[in-house]
Chains A and B, each alone.
Chain A
Amino acid sequence: MSDGRLSVFKTYKLYVGGKFPRSESGRVYEVTDSKGKWLANAPQSSRKDARDAVVASRKAFGGWSGATAYNRGQILYRVAEMLEGRREQFAREVADAEGLSKSKAAAVVDAAVDRWVWYAGWTDKIGQVVGGANPVAGPFFNLSTPEPTGVVAVLAPQDSSFLGLVSVIAPVIATGNTAIVIASARAPLPALSLGEVLATSDLPGGVVNILSGKTAELAAPLASHQDVNAIDLTGADAGLAKELEIAAADNLKRTLRPQAVDTGDWSADPGTRRLTAFLETKTVWHPTGALGASGSSY
């Protein structure tokens, strides 16, 4: 440092159940920038960490899915606010992680902030867009509403360490799911730092859990875990994706396969595809009965 002061390194930790544990394995791995320079040691999560994250996610699901859509929107917007205040930190981390210029990295962070805002606004609209009353041929009121699938394992994209990451997390939790996120293996630091933002954004602990480590090693137990309801395979290569999809079939997890668009430009309009991928449609029927004129009683 120019003034000769020795800087203070950050010890990067996982984010599980609202806490910042070290990996249960006690192991770390070296994370370097795009030129191979050492940046930090990241926790190398174990299968046990993945299982703990499932427990935390399940525990958080009832409260988060039961929160009002308005409340979830407020919290997602709060994430954007907190992130806005730490733009420089994230720009630095993204620049290091992805080898981007300062200005390009800043643009990526801005886009990520805006993405939180986009999804914050979706929380109380998606129900009207994909749900509604069905005009059944009988004396029944019939309403379809979208509901969150449950606990979702998310393999974050390997290349887009921050905008891609935010783009896969936000739609999952916007609708009331809880998430276990496996950060980009090569560039996990922005994800681990995001945990610090989430922890200070009124997001209940366990709604998002962030793990770093070897993607395949962590994804395998999640794909076969009977208490995980869905899996987003965005961060898996074709071989791994197929293997995980086969494992996921054991309890018929909803599976979002890697799409060509996922490796491209994350700044494009995300549409609703990622929101609806982890929604169930529940249809509730209730008799109405006739009103007097026909002679019927009610």
Chain B
Amino acid sequence: MPTTAPAFADATASDSALRRFLHGLPGVDTVGLEARAASLGTRSIKTTAKAYAIDLAISMIDLTTLEGADTPGKVRALAAKAVHPDPTDRTTPRTAAVCVYPDMAATAAAALVGSGVKVASVATAFPAGRAALDVKLADVRDAVAAGADEIDMVIDRGAFLSGRYLKVYEEIVAVKAECGSARLKVIFETGELSTYDNIRRASWLGMLAGADFIKTSTGKVGTNATPANTLLMLEAVRDFREQTGVQIGVKPAGGIRTTKDAIKFLVLVNETVGEDWLDNHWFRFGASSLLNDLLMQRQKLSTGRYSGPDYVTVD
């Protein structure tokens, strides 16, 4: 069943209605958007604010491994790291989730039982999404059955770019139905959508179709999360909540590797949508190497000395 917010039921009534709606959204000026993102990037986050931001960022990480070479051993190691990111400091928060391919979901679930760390699984023929709908749905079904708490799906960019918005919408709706109680993250692959106008349209399309999270990218193409495209998606969830009362999460993924980067994203959240989103229920980082940099910065704050890569674990 479509879960479109009642306020916008008409928008998804037909392909042409959906197109009219999406093309009626306000345009995005590239330079202005990027300038705003860059300007927020100059915020200076020091001392107590930095300590808060680092712990918050750690707690928001979907610790990810999405490699052809993934093995149960690798996934178990990652799960252990998610639960105790810094073995030397048990006050370090856990990450939000571990993110794996569907065939590794069971392994991850077993390793994370009782930890509070969620299992996220990509699905729908990730990352290209070029498969028949029933194959994608089976992928989702498998992941959920294996214990995934969260499903990270990819949209059909081909359909989106050729203007078949209703096809994209219906696919998300179908996946959402397959998710059951699992939360659905909808990946746009913003680097392939190419324009900010498209990213805004995809955001609304995803939210109308019932996404719990909207997510920038797979991490598998040249351009992944950027401050600008994340800012734009934050504006979309802000506007969506104002108009429907429904709050949607945002997940930038790919390319966020340093504490400095992560803090910039948290500043974007703080000054665009505010503290309602400053929680890992509503904001995530799709990342892997980011965690170690956050841990080193955390050690620096607590010890006063700069840490080194040998003082954090390599998994």
Interface residue ranges, A against B (CB under 8 Å): 139-140, 287-290, 292, 295-298
Shortest Cβ gap from A265 to chain B (Å):
53
**B309 beta carbon closer than 8 Å to chain A:** no
Contact yes or no, A297 B31, CB < 8 A: no
Looking at the complex, which of B56-64, B222-230, B281-289 is the stretch in contact with chain A?
Answer: B222-230
* A298 adjacent to B30 (CB under 8 Å): yes
**A287 B194 Cβ-Cβ under 8 A:** no
Are A295 and B191 in contact, with the CB atoms below 8 A?
A: yes
> What are 13 sample pairs from A and B whose C-beta atoms fall under 8 A apart?
A139-B31, A287-B31, A288-B31, A290-B30, A295-B222, A295-B223, A296-B30, A296-B34, A297-B30, A297-B196, A297-B199, A297-B228, A298-B196
Point out the residues of chain B lying under 8 angstroms from A289, CB to CB. Answer: 29-31
C-beta contact mask, B61-76 vs A, less than 8 Å → 1, else 0? Answer: 0000000000000000
**B3: A residues at CB distance < 8 A:** none
CA distance A139 to B34 in the complex (A): 11
Quick check: B195 and A297 within 8 Å, CB to CB? Answer: yes
CB distance A297 to B222 under 8 Å?
no
Within 8 A of A (CB), among B126-178: none
Contact between A292 and B31, CB atoms less than 8 A apart: no
Cross-chain contact B226 with A295 (CB below 8 angstroms): yes
Q: How far is the CA of A248 from the CA of B198 in the complex (A)?
A: 55
Decide: B226 and A287 in contact? CB cutoff 8 A.
no
Q: Is residue B32 within 8 Å, beta carbon to beta carbon, of the partner chain? A: yes
Contact (Cβ within 8 A) A140 B31: yes
Chain A residues near B194: list those with CB within 8 A: 292, 297
Query: How far apart are the CA atoms of A289 and B194 in the complex, in Å?
Result: 13
A140 to B35 Cα, complex, angstroms = 12
| B25 → A minimal CB distance (Å) | 15
Q: Kindly state the separation between the CA atoms of A290 and B222 in the bound complex, as whole angstroms.
A: 16
CB contacts (< 8 Å) of A298 on chain B: these are: 30, 195-196
A297→B32 contact, CB < 8 A: no
B36 to chain A, nearest CB (A): 12
Which residue numbers of B lie inside 8 Å of A, CB to CB?
29-32, 34, 190-191, 193-196, 198-199, 222-223, 226, 228-229
Residues of A within 8 A of B32 (CB): 287
Q: Which of A287, A290, A292, A296 contacts B29 (CB 8 A)?
A: A287
| Closest CB pairs A-B (n = 8) | A287-B31, A289-B30, A295-B223, A298-B30, A297-B196, A139-B31, A297-B195, A289-B31
The docked-state distance in angstroms from the alpha carbon of A298 to that of B229 is: 11
Set of chain B residues within 8 Å of A288, measured between Cβ atoms:
31
Docked complex Cα distance between A292 and B223 (Å): 10
Distance between Cα atoms of A296 and B31 in the complex (Å): 10
Give the CA-CA distance A298 to B228 in the complex, in Å: 11
Other A-B pairs, 7, CB within 8 Å; known A139-B30, A289-B31, A296-B30: A287-B29, A287-B32, A288-B31, A295-B222, A295-B226, A297-B193, A297-B229
Alpha-carbon distance between A289 and B31 when the two chains are bound, in angstroms = 5
Q: Which residues of A contact B31 (CB under 8 A)?
A: 139-140, 287-289
Chain A residue at minimum C-beta to C-beta distance from B194:
A297
Residues in chain A near residue B34, CB distance under 8 A: 296
Chain B residue, CB-CB nearest to A138: B31
Measured between beta carbons, the chain B residues less than 8 angstroms from A290 are 30
Expressed in whole angstroms, the Cα–Cα distance for A297 and B194 within the complex equals 5
| Across-interface contacts of B195 in A (CB, < 8 A) | 297-298
Complex interface: chain A residues within 8 A of B191 (CB): 295
Q: Nearest CB to that of B229 among chain A residues?
A: A297
* Closest partner residue, chain B, to A286 (CB atom): B31
Bound form: Cα–Cα A273–B3 in Å: 70
- A298 CA / B198 CA spacing, docked (Å): 10
Query: What residues of chain A lie closer than 8 Å to B30, measured between beta carbons?
Result: 139, 287, 289-290, 296-298
Q: Bound complex: CA of A297 vs CA of B191, how far in Å? A: 8
State the CA gap A296–B228 with chains docked (Å).
9
Bound together, the chains give a CA A86 to CA B32 distance in angstroms of: 60
Docked Cα-Cα span, A76 to B21, in Å, equals: 52
Q: Complex: how many Å from CA A215 to CA B191?
A: 71
Q: B198 contacts which chain A residues (CB < 8 A)?
A: 297
Closest chain A residue, CB of each to CB of B223? A295
Please give the distance in Å from A186's CB to the nearest CB on chain B: 60
- Smallest CB separation, A123 vs chain B (Å): 35
Residue of B nearest to A292 (CB): B194
* Alpha-carbon gap, A290 to B196, bound state (A): 12
Complex Cα gap A214–B29 (Å) = 58
Complex Cα–Cα for A43 and B30 (A): 62
Chain B nearest Cβ from A80, distance in angstroms = 48
Cα(A289)–Cα(B32), bound, Å: 9
Q: What residues of chain B lie closer than 8 Å to A287, measured between beta carbons?
A: 29-32
Give, as a whole number of angstroms, the nearest-CB distance from B207 to chain A: 20
Min CB distance, A288 to chain B, in Å? 7
C-alpha gap A289/B196 in the complex (Å): 11
In the assembled complex, which residues on chain A have CB atoms less than 8 Å from the CB atom of B193? Answer: 297
The smallest C-beta distance from B192 to any residue of chain A, in angstroms, reads 11
Interchain CA distance A288-B30 in the complex, whole Å = 8
| Measured CA separation A95–B223 after assembly (Å) | 80
Residues of B contacting A292 in the complex (Cβ-Cβ under 8 angstroms): 194
Q: How far is the CA of A287 from the CA of B28 in the complex (A)?
A: 12
Closest to A139 in B: B31
Specify the chain A residue showing the minimal Cβ separation from B191. Answer: A295
A85 to chain B, nearest CB (A): 56
Q: How far is the CB of B160 from chain A (nearest CB, A)?
A: 14
Residues of A within 8 A of B228 (CB): 296-297
